Protein backbone atom coordinates (compact mmCIF):
# COMPACT_ATOMS: atom_id res chain seq x y z
CA UNK A 1 0.00 0.00 0.00
CA UNK A 2 1.38 3.39 -1.00
CA UNK A 3 0.60 6.75 0.52
CA UNK A 4 1.11 10.25 -0.75
CA UNK A 5 2.18 11.62 -4.11
CA UNK A 6 5.09 10.48 -6.21
CA UNK A 7 8.61 10.79 -4.88
CA UNK A 8 9.41 13.84 -6.97
CA UNK A 9 6.26 15.79 -6.10
CA UNK A 10 6.48 14.89 -2.40
CA UNK A 11 9.78 16.71 -1.89
CA UNK A 12 9.08 20.10 -0.23
CA UNK A 13 9.85 23.02 -2.52
CA UNK A 14 12.09 25.80 -1.17
CA UNK A 15 9.96 28.44 -2.90
CA UNK A 16 7.17 27.79 -0.38
CA UNK A 17 9.27 28.79 2.62
CA UNK A 18 8.78 32.57 2.28
CA UNK A 19 5.08 31.84 2.68
CA UNK A 20 5.77 29.72 5.76
CA UNK A 21 7.89 32.49 7.25
CA UNK A 22 5.06 34.97 6.73
CA UNK A 23 2.60 32.54 8.33
CA UNK A 24 4.89 32.02 11.34
CA UNK A 25 5.31 35.78 11.84
CA UNK A 26 1.57 36.27 11.43
CA UNK A 27 0.91 33.56 14.04
CA UNK A 28 3.31 35.25 16.48
CA UNK A 29 1.63 38.62 15.88
CA UNK A 30 -1.77 36.99 16.43
CA UNK A 31 -0.53 35.57 19.72
CA UNK A 32 0.62 38.99 20.95
CA UNK A 33 -2.70 40.54 19.95
CA UNK A 34 -4.79 37.84 21.63
CA UNK A 35 -2.73 38.14 24.80
CA UNK A 36 -3.13 41.91 24.90
CA UNK A 37 -6.87 41.54 24.24
CA UNK A 38 -7.28 39.15 27.17
CA UNK A 39 -8.17 36.16 24.98
CA UNK A 40 -6.10 33.70 27.01
CA UNK A 41 -8.53 30.82 26.53
CA UNK A 42 -8.35 30.99 22.74
CA UNK A 43 -4.58 31.43 22.86
CA UNK A 44 -4.33 28.25 24.92
CA UNK A 45 -6.68 26.47 22.51
CA UNK A 46 -4.49 27.39 19.52
CA UNK A 47 -1.42 26.16 21.43
CA UNK A 48 -3.16 22.81 21.95
CA UNK A 49 -3.96 22.61 18.24
CA UNK A 50 -0.34 23.28 17.31
CA UNK A 51 0.88 20.60 19.75
CA UNK A 52 -1.38 17.98 18.24
CA UNK A 53 -0.41 19.28 14.81
CA UNK A 54 3.24 18.66 15.68
CA UNK A 55 2.41 15.11 16.80
CA UNK A 56 0.41 14.50 13.59
CA UNK A 57 3.26 15.86 11.44
CA UNK A 58 5.64 13.42 13.11
CA UNK A 59 3.26 10.59 12.23
CA UNK A 60 2.98 11.92 8.67
CA UNK A 61 6.75 11.64 8.43
CA UNK A 62 6.56 7.85 8.58
CA UNK A 63 3.04 7.41 7.20
CA UNK A 64 3.06 9.81 4.27
CA UNK A 65 6.75 10.01 3.38
CA UNK A 66 7.82 6.57 4.57
CA UNK A 67 4.69 4.62 3.64
CA UNK A 68 4.70 2.95 7.08
CA UNK A 69 1.24 2.65 8.65
CA UNK A 70 2.00 2.84 12.36
CA UNK A 71 -1.00 2.41 14.66
CA UNK A 72 0.96 3.01 17.84
CA UNK A 73 2.42 6.46 17.31
CA UNK A 74 0.60 7.89 20.33
CA UNK A 75 2.98 5.85 22.50
CA UNK A 76 5.74 8.39 21.83
CA UNK A 77 3.42 11.26 22.62
CA UNK A 78 2.60 9.63 25.96
CA UNK A 79 6.18 8.65 26.79
CA UNK A 80 7.37 12.20 26.18
CA UNK A 81 4.62 13.55 28.42
CA UNK A 82 5.32 11.05 31.19
CA UNK A 83 9.07 11.67 31.05
CA UNK A 84 8.62 15.39 31.71
CA UNK A 85 5.84 14.75 34.23
CA UNK A 86 7.90 12.30 36.26
CA UNK A 87 10.94 14.59 36.24
CA UNK A 88 8.84 17.48 37.56
CA UNK A 89 7.24 15.22 40.19
CA UNK A 90 10.70 14.15 41.35
CA UNK A 91 11.79 17.77 41.74
CA UNK A 92 13.64 18.26 38.44
CA UNK A 93 11.65 20.88 36.52
CA UNK A 94 14.55 21.97 34.28
CA UNK A 95 12.94 22.38 30.88
CA UNK A 96 16.10 21.92 28.84
CA UNK A 97 16.80 18.61 30.57
CA UNK A 98 13.18 17.49 30.56
CA UNK A 99 12.52 18.16 26.89
CA UNK A 100 15.84 16.62 25.84
CA UNK A 101 15.13 13.47 27.87
CA UNK A 102 11.57 13.29 26.55
CA UNK A 103 12.89 13.24 22.99
CA UNK A 104 15.72 10.85 23.85
CA UNK A 105 13.50 8.33 25.67
CA UNK A 106 10.90 8.46 22.89
CA UNK A 107 13.63 8.00 20.26
CA UNK A 108 15.06 5.02 22.18
CA UNK A 109 11.60 3.49 22.42
CA UNK A 110 11.07 4.05 18.69
CA UNK A 111 14.43 2.41 18.02
CA UNK A 112 13.42 -0.72 19.94
CA UNK A 113 9.93 -0.92 18.45
CA UNK A 114 11.15 -0.09 14.95
CA UNK A 115 13.98 -2.62 15.05
CA UNK A 116 11.41 -5.37 15.60
CA UNK A 117 8.33 -4.19 13.70
CA UNK A 118 10.17 -3.02 10.56
CA UNK A 119 11.15 -6.62 9.87
CA UNK A 120 7.51 -7.17 8.94
CA UNK A 121 5.29 -5.54 6.34
CA UNK A 122 1.67 -4.71 5.69
CA UNK A 123 -0.93 -5.69 8.24
CA UNK A 124 1.69 -7.44 10.38
CA UNK A 125 3.57 -4.16 10.79
CA UNK A 126 0.34 -2.39 11.77
CA UNK A 127 -0.53 -5.02 14.36
CA UNK A 128 2.96 -5.09 15.91
CA UNK A 129 3.07 -1.31 16.36
CA UNK A 130 -0.42 -1.48 17.84
CA UNK A 131 0.63 -4.29 20.18
CA UNK A 132 3.66 -2.36 21.46
CA UNK A 133 1.54 0.73 22.10
CA UNK A 134 -1.02 -1.28 24.06
CA UNK A 135 1.74 -2.95 26.07
CA UNK A 136 3.04 0.45 27.09
CA UNK A 137 -0.49 1.64 27.83
CA UNK A 138 -1.10 -1.22 30.27
CA UNK A 139 2.39 -0.87 31.74
CA UNK A 140 1.85 2.81 32.59
CA UNK A 141 -1.64 1.93 33.80
CA UNK A 142 -0.16 -0.40 36.39
CA UNK A 143 2.46 2.00 37.81
CA UNK A 144 0.58 3.31 40.85
CA UNK A 145 3.56 5.40 42.02
CA UNK A 146 2.83 7.84 39.19
CA UNK A 147 -0.93 7.83 39.22
CA UNK A 148 -1.72 4.55 37.51
CA UNK A 149 -5.01 4.62 35.65
CA UNK A 150 -5.96 7.92 37.33
CA UNK A 151 -3.10 9.76 35.68
CA UNK A 152 -0.40 12.04 37.02
CA UNK A 153 -1.08 15.60 38.16
CA UNK A 154 1.75 18.08 37.64
CA UNK A 155 2.00 20.87 40.24
CA UNK A 156 4.32 23.08 38.20
CA UNK A 157 5.58 23.53 34.65
CA UNK A 158 9.02 23.12 33.16
CA UNK A 159 11.51 25.87 33.94
CA UNK A 160 13.65 27.14 31.06
CA UNK A 161 14.95 30.24 32.79
CA UNK A 162 15.80 33.21 30.53
CA UNK A 163 12.61 34.93 31.72
CA UNK A 164 10.40 32.25 30.14
CA UNK A 165 7.35 31.56 32.31
CA UNK A 166 5.26 28.75 30.86
CA UNK A 167 2.30 29.65 33.08
CA UNK A 168 2.05 32.73 30.90
CA UNK A 169 -0.19 31.83 27.94
CA UNK A 170 1.82 34.01 25.56
CA UNK A 171 5.17 32.55 26.60
CA UNK A 172 3.84 29.03 26.20
CA UNK A 173 2.26 29.85 22.83
CA UNK A 174 5.56 31.23 21.54
CA UNK A 175 7.45 28.17 22.81
CA UNK A 176 5.04 25.85 20.99
CA UNK A 177 5.30 27.97 17.84
CA UNK A 178 9.11 27.85 17.92
CA UNK A 179 9.10 24.05 18.42
CA UNK A 180 6.60 23.61 15.59
CA UNK A 181 8.47 25.83 13.12
CA UNK A 182 11.85 24.28 14.01
CA UNK A 183 10.44 20.76 13.58
CA UNK A 184 8.85 21.58 10.22
CA UNK A 185 12.09 23.19 9.04
CA UNK A 186 14.03 20.10 10.10
CA UNK A 187 11.60 17.77 8.30
CA UNK A 188 11.81 20.00 5.23
CA UNK A 189 15.60 19.72 5.13
CA UNK A 190 15.44 16.00 5.90
CA UNK A 191 13.15 15.22 2.98
CA UNK A 192 15.30 17.27 0.59
CA UNK A 193 18.43 15.44 1.69
CA UNK A 194 19.85 12.22 0.28
CA UNK A 195 18.15 10.28 3.05
CA UNK A 196 14.79 11.84 2.21
CA UNK A 197 15.05 10.91 -1.44
CA UNK A 198 15.91 7.31 -0.55
CA UNK A 199 12.99 7.19 1.89
CA UNK A 200 10.62 8.36 -0.84
CA UNK A 201 12.10 5.86 -3.29
CA UNK A 202 11.62 2.92 -0.92
CA UNK A 203 8.07 4.04 -0.24
CA UNK A 204 7.28 3.80 -3.94
CA UNK A 205 9.22 0.54 -4.50
CA UNK A 206 11.23 -0.89 -1.61
CA UNK A 207 12.31 -3.99 -3.53
CA UNK A 208 13.80 -1.96 -6.36
CA UNK A 209 15.48 0.43 -3.91
CA UNK A 210 17.02 -2.51 -2.08
CA UNK A 211 18.18 -3.98 -5.38
CA UNK A 212 19.98 -0.71 -6.16
CA UNK A 213 22.12 -1.27 -3.08
CA UNK A 214 20.47 1.02 -0.53
CA UNK A 215 19.92 -0.38 3.00
CA UNK A 216 16.17 0.22 3.12
CA UNK A 217 15.78 -1.18 6.64
CA UNK A 218 18.32 1.26 8.10
CA UNK A 219 16.70 4.27 6.47
CA UNK A 220 13.27 3.17 7.62
CA UNK A 221 14.55 2.69 11.15
CA UNK A 222 16.23 6.12 11.16
CA UNK A 223 12.98 7.72 9.98
CA UNK A 224 11.06 5.82 12.65
CA UNK A 225 13.40 7.10 15.38
CA UNK A 226 13.20 10.71 14.18
CA UNK A 227 9.40 10.57 14.12
CA UNK A 228 9.39 9.11 17.63
CA UNK A 229 11.64 11.90 18.94
CA UNK A 230 9.39 14.60 17.48
CA UNK A 231 6.37 12.83 18.95
CA UNK A 232 8.11 12.92 22.34
CA UNK A 233 8.65 16.67 21.95
CA UNK A 234 4.92 17.10 21.36
CA UNK A 235 4.23 15.09 24.51
CA UNK A 236 6.58 17.29 26.55
CA UNK A 237 4.67 20.36 25.38
CA UNK A 238 1.28 18.76 26.00
CA UNK A 239 1.95 17.84 29.64
CA UNK A 240 3.08 21.39 30.32
CA UNK A 241 -0.15 22.76 28.96
CA UNK A 242 -2.49 20.35 30.72
CA UNK A 243 -0.51 19.96 33.97
CA UNK A 244 -1.75 16.38 33.75
CA UNK A 245 -1.01 13.19 31.85
CA UNK A 246 -2.88 9.90 31.82
CA UNK A 247 -2.38 6.50 30.17
CA UNK A 248 -5.25 7.34 27.80
CA UNK A 249 -2.80 9.53 25.91
CA UNK A 250 -1.07 6.31 24.81
CA UNK A 251 -4.21 4.35 23.91
CA UNK A 252 -4.63 3.06 20.36
CA UNK A 253 -7.62 5.37 19.84
CA UNK A 254 -5.28 8.34 20.28
CA UNK A 255 -3.12 6.95 17.47
CA UNK A 256 -6.29 6.77 15.39
CA UNK A 257 -7.01 10.43 16.09
CA UNK A 258 -3.52 11.39 14.92
CA UNK A 259 -4.05 9.34 11.76
CA UNK A 260 -7.36 11.12 11.10
CA UNK A 261 -5.56 14.46 11.43
CA UNK A 262 -3.01 13.35 8.84
CA UNK A 263 -5.71 12.19 6.43
CA UNK A 264 -7.70 15.40 6.84
CA UNK A 265 -4.65 17.61 6.32
CA UNK A 266 -2.99 15.63 3.55
CA UNK A 267 -0.92 12.46 3.61
CA UNK A 268 2.65 12.98 2.45
CA UNK A 269 2.63 16.77 2.78
CA UNK A 270 4.92 18.73 5.06
CA UNK A 271 2.26 20.45 7.18
CA UNK A 272 -0.67 18.16 6.44
CA UNK A 273 -0.83 17.01 10.05
CA UNK A 274 -0.98 20.61 11.26
CA UNK A 275 -3.90 21.57 9.01
CA UNK A 276 -5.70 18.36 9.95
CA UNK A 277 -5.25 19.05 13.67
CA UNK A 278 -6.55 22.60 13.28
CA UNK A 279 -9.64 21.37 11.41
CA UNK A 280 -10.40 18.37 13.64
CA UNK A 281 -9.99 20.17 16.96
CA UNK A 282 -11.92 23.20 15.72
CA UNK A 283 -14.79 20.96 14.65
CA UNK A 284 -14.62 19.19 18.00
CA UNK A 285 -14.88 22.45 19.95
CA UNK A 286 -17.66 23.88 17.78
CA UNK A 287 -19.83 20.78 17.44
CA UNK A 288 -19.35 19.66 21.05
CA UNK A 289 -21.08 22.86 22.16
CA UNK A 290 -24.19 21.77 20.24
CA UNK A 291 -24.27 18.01 20.75
CA UNK A 292 -22.29 15.41 22.72
CA UNK A 293 -22.25 13.20 19.62
CA UNK A 294 -19.72 15.36 17.82
CA UNK A 295 -17.77 12.32 16.58
CA UNK A 296 -20.71 11.36 14.36
CA UNK A 297 -20.62 14.67 12.47
CA UNK A 298 -16.83 14.75 12.32
CA UNK A 299 -17.07 11.34 10.66
CA UNK A 300 -19.15 12.84 7.88
CA UNK A 301 -16.60 15.61 7.40
CA UNK A 302 -13.82 13.02 7.17
CA UNK A 303 -15.85 11.05 4.63
CA UNK A 304 -16.42 14.19 2.55
CA UNK A 305 -12.70 15.03 2.58
CA UNK A 306 -11.72 11.50 1.51
CA UNK A 307 -14.25 11.46 -1.34
CA UNK A 308 -13.98 15.06 -2.58
CA UNK A 309 -10.38 15.93 -1.70
CA UNK A 310 -8.28 12.74 -1.58
CA UNK A 311 -5.13 14.77 -0.84
CA UNK A 312 -6.75 16.51 2.11
CA UNK A 313 -6.70 20.20 2.89
CA UNK A 314 -3.18 20.56 1.50
CA UNK A 315 -4.40 19.39 -1.89
CA UNK A 316 -7.29 21.85 -2.16
CA UNK A 317 -5.33 24.55 -4.08
CA UNK A 318 -4.21 22.01 -6.68
CA UNK A 319 -7.73 20.57 -6.89
CA UNK A 320 -9.17 24.05 -7.40
CA UNK A 321 -6.67 24.81 -10.18
CA UNK A 322 -7.53 21.59 -11.98
CA UNK A 323 -11.27 22.19 -11.82
CA UNK A 324 -11.06 25.87 -12.76
CA UNK A 325 -12.18 26.28 -16.38
CA UNK A 326 -9.36 27.27 -18.68
CA UNK A 327 -9.45 30.53 -20.63
CA UNK A 328 -11.26 30.15 -23.96
CA UNK A 329 -8.92 29.95 -26.91
CA UNK A 330 -9.35 32.60 -29.63
CA UNK A 331 -10.93 31.36 -32.81
CA UNK A 332 -9.02 31.27 -36.06
CA UNK A 333 -10.90 34.19 -37.64
CA UNK A 334 -9.89 36.53 -34.79
CA UNK A 335 -13.46 37.03 -33.55
In degrees rounded to 5, what are phi and psi of residue 263? -65, -40
Identify the pLDDT of residue 331. Answer: 52
Instruction: Return d(Cα 224, Cα 108) in angstroms, integer.
Output: 10
Give 287 or 132, the one with higher predicted confidence: 132
Query: Which residues, at least 6 apart from 271, have a Cβ–Cβ distance to it below 8 Å?
Result: 20, 53, 57, 184, 265, 314
- pLDDT band at residue 325 under the 50/70/90 scheme: low
Residue/partner pairs of 143-146 with CB below 8 Å, 24 or more apart:
146/82, 146/85, 146/86, 146/89
What pLDDT is stored for residue 161 in this prediction?
Answer: 84
pLDDT value of residue 18: 72
Return the higher-pLDDT residue of 53 and 326. 53
pLDDT at 335: 46
Angle at 177 between CA 94 and CA 271, to 5 degrees: 125
- 290 falls in which pLDDT band (50, 70, 90)? confident
Top pLDDT among 41 and 294 is at 41
Indicate yes or no: pTM above 0.85.
yes
Looking at residue 297, what is its pLDDT?
83
pLDDT recorded at residue 303: 84
Distance CA 42, CA 25 (A): 18
User: For residues 39 and 47, which has the higher predicted lDDT (pLDDT)?
Assistant: 47
Question: How far is Cα 296 from Cα 271, in angstroms, rounded to an integer?
Answer: 26
Q: Where is pLDDT greater, at 10 or 2?
A: 10
Please report, rounded to a whole number, the percentage of residues in the chain having pLDDT higher than 70. 90
For residue 40, what pLDDT is reported? 85
Condensed to tens digits (0 to 9), the pLDDT of residues 139-180 reads 999 888 888 888 888 888 888 888 888 888 899 999 999 999
Predicted local confidence at residue 285, as pLDDT: 85
pLDDT tens digits, residue range 192-244?
889 989 999 998 888 898 888 899 999 999 999 999 999 999 999 999 998 88
3-class DSSP state of 209: helix
Q: Tell me the pLDDT band of 329, cut-offs 50, 70 and 90.
A: low
Ordered by start, the domain boundaries in the chain are 7-252
State pLDDT tens for residues 69-121. Answer: 988 899 999 999 999 999 999 989 898 999 999 999 999 999 999 999 999 98
Amino acid sequence: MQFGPSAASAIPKPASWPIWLILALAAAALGFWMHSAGLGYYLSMISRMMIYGLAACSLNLILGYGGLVSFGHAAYLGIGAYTVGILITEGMPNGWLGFALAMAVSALLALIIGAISLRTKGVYFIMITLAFAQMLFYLVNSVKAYGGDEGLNIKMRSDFGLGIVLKNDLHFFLLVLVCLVASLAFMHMLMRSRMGRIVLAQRDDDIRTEALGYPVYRYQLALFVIAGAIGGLAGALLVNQQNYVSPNLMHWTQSGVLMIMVILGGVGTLAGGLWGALLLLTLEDLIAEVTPHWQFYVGWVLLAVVLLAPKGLSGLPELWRRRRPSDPKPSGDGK
